[in-house]
Structure 1
Amino acid sequence: MAESMVGIKRSHRCTEVTTANIGQDVTVMGWVQKSRNKGGIIFVDLRDRSGILQIIFEESDCGAENFAKAEKLRSEFVIAVTGRVEARSGAVNPNLATGAIEVRAKSMRVLSESETPPFPIEENSKTKEELRLKYRFLDLRRPDLQRNMMVRSRVATLTRAFLADEGFLEIETPTLIKSTPEGARDYLVPSRVHPGSFYALPQSPQLFKQLLMCSGYDRYFQIARCYRDEDLRADRQPEFTQIDMELSFVDVDEVLDVNERLLQKLFKEICDYDLPLPLPRMTWQEAMDRFGSDKPDLRFGMELQDVSDVVKGCEFAVFKNALENGGSVRGINAEGQGHMPRKKIDALVEYAKGFGAKGLAYVAINEDGSLKSSFAKFMTEEEMGALVAAMGGKPGDLLLFAADRNKVVYDVLGNLRLELARQLDLLKKDDFKFLWVTEFPLLEYSEEEGRFVAMHHPFTMPMDEDLQYIDSDPGRVRAKAYDIVLNGVEMGGGSVRIHQGDVQSKMFEVLGFTPERANDQFGFLLEAFKYGVPPHAGLAYGFDRMVMLMVGADSIRDVIAFPKVKDASCLMTEAPTPVDPAQLKELGIEVAETEEE
């Protein structure tokens, strides 16, 4: 039977009880982690969000009634215990914050009983994730998840305090907004008052924060909920949180400076890591050439080498055809991996094919300096020697080459170096390697749509010196855009925004918008631009990703209280679900039946 809390009050959380409290009476409340009856003495591990405290029940201290209740305790019962703090009678437990003490119970109330949970509440649970997410309210009791959620809360608090000190104002922007289908898919919300019309949920507060700059607020931030109806991956959710900011009267350097100091503060407070400033910067082109990725992982080497000039005269058809078609030949050196068995190399070839490679050429350098290669017979000895030298190859190394269009070569080798780093265990989670990637292309050509699309969004400022090419060579124009990358993960990104109406109109024109369409979608922003706009720039972090990297979690699901799974459903609440036909009727919506295949 559950008892009430009337007349008692918690004095401490479990790990707030310390050796300083020895001899004092305390009242603690929490969940039974486990209970052990040693005949005449019952040991109970009591758990709350702070940790675990050992409670001892002996009939001579707590009386027959309390002892009888203690005998019936099972895991996850919720109890309140009043007792005296003592030095631990048995061996001290160095793994527990409270390992030097225990509480000798004088009285106890069972506040709530529990059925046997479907899985044990323990750190690093081996239980299948599907089952844990179905019972997420139980999963969230696990100490490791609770620590993650507490870190998340602390990051938010520290961010708010830091940005407030830097003169930022926290302002909420709407979550029922106009749909602007440029970019990822919107989640739509039907309007009952305006039949046939829909709101969208925001993918980011982008337009509103620019309007706040037009309104003179100077420095804005928000910890904002955002929504994207896109296919999910381990580090994506349909709803997510951004630390979002915008600043007026600044250029790239000022935005990067304030954010570097924010990151330095957060990583010192949360991870006790001293982040040296300024952070390194690398242009997008250099990142692609050296790492095959615009979010390079700098924790290990294995950089890409362009050997196109070295092999341009050779007769190996794979290299020859790639160069004749305007592509390149590049390689990576997996140092010390020359002994890799053929089976493993074949597995790497298959992995590379997943990123568009037709195959991989390789050279294994034996310890005696002789070569084992998939293409040596098509090359002269001098050509092979020059290729190995260009790659810095030494006895014991494995050289891997891709030859194709640049985009494919970057993709293949960029992912291959990461796969090798995983296999060779080179990725240490507490080795924080930060990088700003700058000067992104403003536009990228979409084969699908047959036009240029914005690489970030249509409000990004071109670099002043490249504006002259916007009509003649749009692909050449670089943007005043920047991403903050940590250990191969894009943690945030932003740009200087266009603040001149004529440049914004030109950008829409290059993106294939008619003036009517631009006005239909973004008329309110263009209207605001007629009334005095300050130069402005901003940045947004993926808050979930940031916390994931800080705590060393493998997935953002481990740092979100109630996450969705791959198909954007919630296993616990079973959302999304069909709704009452009466609700649909009121909204003027009819659901079309689709035939099952």
Structure 2
Amino acid sequence: MAESMRGLHRSHRCAEVTKEMTGSEVTLMGWVQKSRNKGGIVFVDLRDRSGLIQLIFENGSIDESGFEKAGKLRSEFVIAVVGTVEARSGAVNPNMLTGEIEIRVRELRILSEAETPPFPIEENSKTKDEVRLKYRYLDLRRPDLQRNLMLRSQVATLTRQFFAQEGFLEIETPMLTKSTPEGARDYLVPSRVHQGSFYALPQSPQIFKQLLMCSGYDRYIQIARCFRDEDLRADRQPEFTQIDMELSFVDVDDVLDVNERFLAFLFKEVLGVEVSLPIQRITWQEAMDRFGSDKPDMRFGMELQDVSEVVKDCEFAVFKGALENGGSVRGINAKGQGKMPRKKIDKLVEFAKGYGAKGLAYLAVNEDGTYKSSFAKFMTEEEMGGLVKAMKGEPGDLLLFAADKNKLVYDVLGALRLELGRQMELMDKNEFRFVWVTEFPLLEWSEEEERYTAMHHPFTMLMDEDLPLLDTEPGKVRAKAYDIVLNGNEIGGGSVRIFQNDVQERMFEVLGFTKEAAYEQFGFLLNAFKYGVPPHAGLAYGLDRLVMLMAGADSIREVIAFPKVKDASCLMSEAPSAVSEAQLEELALKIAKEDISEN
């Protein structure tokens, strides 16, 4: 029978009670973690979001009915207790913040009883994700998840604090916006009032924050909810949160400066980690050439080496064919892995094929300086020696090569580098290594649409010196765009924006927009640009991913209270779900039933 807490007021959370409070009376409330009935004495671990504390119930300290109730306590019962702080009568528990003390209870109230939960409420649960997510309200009681969400709250609070001190204004932008199909799919919301018309949920506040710069607000910040109807991965959700900002009268260096100071402040306050400033910068091209990735993990070496010049005259058809087709031959040196068994090398070959490679050429340098290789018979001794030298190969090393079009070579070796880094345990989980990647290509060619698309978005400013290339060689134009990368994860990105009408119109032309089409989609922004627009730039962090890395979690689902699964559904609430005919009728919508009858 549940009891009232009338007259009781919680004095402390569990882990706020310290040994300095010995002899004091406290009132605590929380969940029973576990109960141990020893006959004349009952021990209970009480849990709340702060941690655990041991309660002791003993005849004489509590009346008979209270002691009887204590004997009936089970896991996840919600209770309130009044008692005295004492030094532990038994062994001290060094694994608990409150391990030196216990509470001798004089009054117990059972506020709520609980059924046996479908899985234990404990750290590092081995329960299947599907079960955890179905009972997410129980999963969220686990101490590790609670720590993650408290860390997330702390990050949000400190973010607002830092940017407020830097003169940023927190301004909310609309959730119901106009659909602009350029980019990922929009989530659409039908309008009841304007039947047949739809709002879109924002993929980002991009256009509105640029309008705020046109309106003179100078420095904007928002912790913004965003939505993208795209296929999910471990680090993607259909709804996510950005730390979104825009600044006026700035260029690249100004944006990077304020954000470097923000990251240094955040990591120091939350984790006690010193971020060395200035953060290293490398161009996109350098990142691709050295690491095969535009989000390089800088915690270890194993950089790509271009050996195209070294092998250009060899007779190995794979190398020769790649170079004749305008591609390249590149390799990585897995130091000390020369004795890797053939079976393990074959697995690496299969791994590379998963990224589009036709195969993987390998060369092991034996301890006596001889070679074991998949292609030695096609190369002269001199060519093999030149190749090993170019790769800085030493006895005991394993050299791995990919040969194809540059993009594919980058993809394959970039992924292989990370896989070997994991296998060789080269990534220090306690190290936080930041890098700025700058000067991204402005455009990328879409084979599907047979046109150039914006690598970031159509409002990204190009490098001043590349302006003449926009009409002649658009694929070579670099953008004033920048990503901030942490341990191989892009945690944020942004760009300087186009603010001159003529440049913006030329950009739309290159992207295949007619003037009419551009105004149809972005008219309110382009019209605003007619009335005096300041130079401006911005950046947005993925808050979920940033917190995931700070928490040391493996997935953003571990730092989001109620995440979706891979098909964008919620196992707990069973969203999305069908709606009634009456609701559809109000919206003038009809669901087209798929014809599943046999022909």
Q: Same fold (TM over 0.5)?
A: yes
1:212-255 superposed Cα distances (whole Å, 9 cap, x missing partner): 00000000000000000000000000000000000000000010
> Given that residues 429 and 549 in structure 1 are in contact (C-alpha distance below 8 angstroms), is that contact kept between their aligned partners in structure 2?
no
Following the alignment from structure 2 to structure 1, what is the Cα–Cα distance between the partners of residues 508 and 360? 41
Q: SS at 2:467's partner residue? A: helix
Q: SS at 1:533's partner residue? A: coil
Q: SS at 1:266's partner residue? A: helix
> Given that residues 46 and 53 in structure 1 are in contact (C-alpha distance below 8 angstroms), is that contact kept between their aligned partners in structure 2?
yes
Following the alignment from structure 1 to structure 2, what is the Cα–Cα distance between the partners of residues 4 and 334? 66
1:75-126 superposed Cα distances (whole Å, 9 cap, x missing partner): 0000000001001111111111001100000000000000000000000000
Following the alignment from structure 1 to structure 2, what is the Cα–Cα distance between the partners of residues 74 and 26? 22
Root-mean-square deviation (CA, aligned residues, Å) is 0.7
Matches for 1:263-274 after TM superposition, within 5 Å: 263-274=263-274
Following the alignment from structure 1 to structure 2, what is the Cα–Cα distance between the partners of residues 447 and 198? 30
Displacement of 1:590 in angstroms is 0.6
| Residue 366 of structure 2 corresponds to residue 366 of structure 1 | yes
| Residue 233 of structure 1: aligned partner | 233
> Given that residues 357 and 412 in structure 1 are in contact (C-alpha distance below 8 angstroms), is that contact kept between their aligned partners in structure 2?
yes
Displacement of 1:269 in angstroms is 1.0
| Residue 577 of structure 2: aligned partner | 577
Inter-CA distance 596–91: structure 2 relative to 1 (3 Å threshold): farther
| Residue 375 of structure 1: aligned partner | 375
Counting matched residue pairs gives: 597
Which residue identity lines up with residue 212 of structure 2 in the other structure?
A: L
| Residue 353 of structure 1: aligned partner | 353
Displacement of 1:29 in angstroms is 0.3
Following the alignment from structure 2 to structure 1, what is the Cα–Cα distance between the partners of residues 287 and 148? 32
Displacement of 1:421 in angstroms is 0.9
Following the alignment from structure 2 to structure 1, what is the Cα–Cα distance between the partners of residues 242 and 505? 28
| Residue 159 of structure 2: aligned partner | 159
> Given that residues 214 and 533 in structure 1 are in contact (C-alpha distance below 8 angstroms), is that contact kept between their aligned partners in structure 2?
yes
| Residue 114 of structure 1: aligned partner | 114
Following the alignment from structure 1 to structure 2, what is the Cα–Cα distance between the partners of residues 596 and 236? 33
| Residue 14 of structure 1: aligned partner | 14
Kindly report structure 1 stretches of 4+ aligned residues shifted beyond 2 Å.
none
Following the alignment from structure 2 to structure 1, what is the Cα–Cα distance between the partners of residues 286 and 424? 25
Following the alignment from structure 2 to structure 1, what is the Cα–Cα distance between the partners of residues 345 and 257? 44
Following the alignment from structure 1 to structure 2, what is the Cα–Cα distance between the partners of residues 374 and 283? 34
Following the alignment from structure 1 to structure 2, what is the Cα–Cα distance between the partners of residues 340 and 248? 55
Displacement of 1:423 in angstroms is 1.2
| Residue 51 of structure 1: aligned partner | 51
Matches for 1:74-473 after TM superposition, within 5 Å: 74-473=74-473
Displacement of 1:74 in angstroms is 0.2
Q: SS at 1:470's partner residue? A: helix
Following the alignment from structure 2 to structure 1, what is the Cα–Cα distance between the partners of residues 13 and 546? 29
Q: SS at 1:525's partner residue? A: helix
Displacement of 1:430 in angstroms is 1.7
> Given that residues 26 and 82 in structure 1 are in contact (C-alpha distance below 8 angstroms), is that contact kept between their aligned partners in structure 2?
yes
1:115-166 superposed Cα distances (whole Å, 9 cap, x missing partner): 0000000000000010000000000000000000000000000000000000
Q: TM-score, normalised by structure 2?
A: 0.99
Following the alignment from structure 1 to structure 2, what is the Cα–Cα distance between the partners of residues 175 and 29? 39
Following the alignment from structure 2 to structure 1, what is the Cα–Cα distance between the partners of residues 515 and 300? 48
Displacement of 1:38 in angstroms is 1.1
Which residue identity lines up with residue 28 of structure 1 in the other structure?
A: L
Following the alignment from structure 2 to structure 1, what is the Cα–Cα distance between the partners of residues 575 and 92? 47
Displacement of 1:51 in angstroms is 0.1
Following the alignment from structure 1 to structure 2, what is the Cα–Cα distance between the partners of residues 405 and 593? 45
Following the alignment from structure 1 to structure 2, what is the Cα–Cα distance between the partners of residues 273 and 366? 42
Which residue identity lines up with residue 412 of structure 1 in the other structure?
A: V
1:32-86 superposed Cα distances (whole Å, 9 cap, x missing partner): 0000011101000000000000000001100101000000000000000000100
Displacement of 1:595 in angstroms is 3.9
Q: TM-score, normalised by structure 1?
A: 1.00
Instruction: Structure 1 unaligned segments of length 5 or more: list them.
Output: none
Following the alignment from structure 1 to structure 2, what is the Cα–Cα distance between the partners of residues 463 and 186? 30
Which residue identity lines up with residue 356 of structure 1 in the other structure?
A: G
Following the alignment from structure 1 to structure 2, what is the Cα–Cα distance between the partners of residues 288 and 77? 56
| Residue 562 of structure 1: aligned partner | 562
1:421-448 superposed Cα distances (whole Å, 9 cap, x missing partner): 1111222222101000000000001111
Which residue identity lines up with residue 253 of structure 1 in the other structure?
A: D
Displacement of 1:271 in angstroms is 1.2
| Residue 542 of structure 2: aligned partner | 542
Q: SS at 1:61's partner residue? A: coil
Displacement of 1:596 in angstroms is 5.1
Displacement of 1:366 in angstroms is 1.1
Following the alignment from structure 1 to structure 2, what is the Cα–Cα distance between the partners of residues 291 and 593? 49
> Given that residues 363 and 399 in structure 1 are in contact (C-alpha distance below 8 angstroms), is that contact kept between their aligned partners in structure 2?
yes
Q: SS at 1:44's partner residue? A: strand
| Residue 527 of structure 2 corresponds to residue 527 of structure 1 | yes
| Residue 478 of structure 1: aligned partner | 478
Q: SS at 1:377's partner residue? A: helix
Following the alignment from structure 2 to structure 1, what is the Cα–Cα distance between the partners of residues 527 and 59? 79
| Residue 38 of structure 2: aligned partner | 38
> Given that residues 365 and 372 in structure 1 are in contact (C-alpha distance below 8 angstroms), is that contact kept between their aligned partners in structure 2?
yes
Q: SS at 1:483's partner residue? A: strand
Following the alignment from structure 1 to structure 2, what is the Cα–Cα distance between the partners of residues 519 and 551? 44
Following the alignment from structure 2 to structure 1, what is the Cα–Cα distance between the partners of residues 357 and 155? 41
Following the alignment from structure 1 to structure 2, what is the Cα–Cα distance between the partners of residues 145 and 136? 11
Following the alignment from structure 2 to structure 1, what is the Cα–Cα distance between the partners of residues 11 and 438? 53
> Given that residues 338 and 365 in structure 1 are in contact (C-alpha distance below 8 angstroms), is that contact kept between their aligned partners in structure 2?
yes
1:410-466 superposed Cα distances (whole Å, 9 cap, x missing partner): 000000000111111222222101000000000001111100000000000000000
Following the alignment from structure 2 to structure 1, what is the Cα–Cα distance between the partners of residues 71 and 544? 43
Structure 1 window deviating more from structure 2 (445-454 vs 425-434): it is 425-434
Which residue identity lines up with residue 142 of structure 1 in the other structure?
A: R
The alignment-based identity, stated in percent, is 77
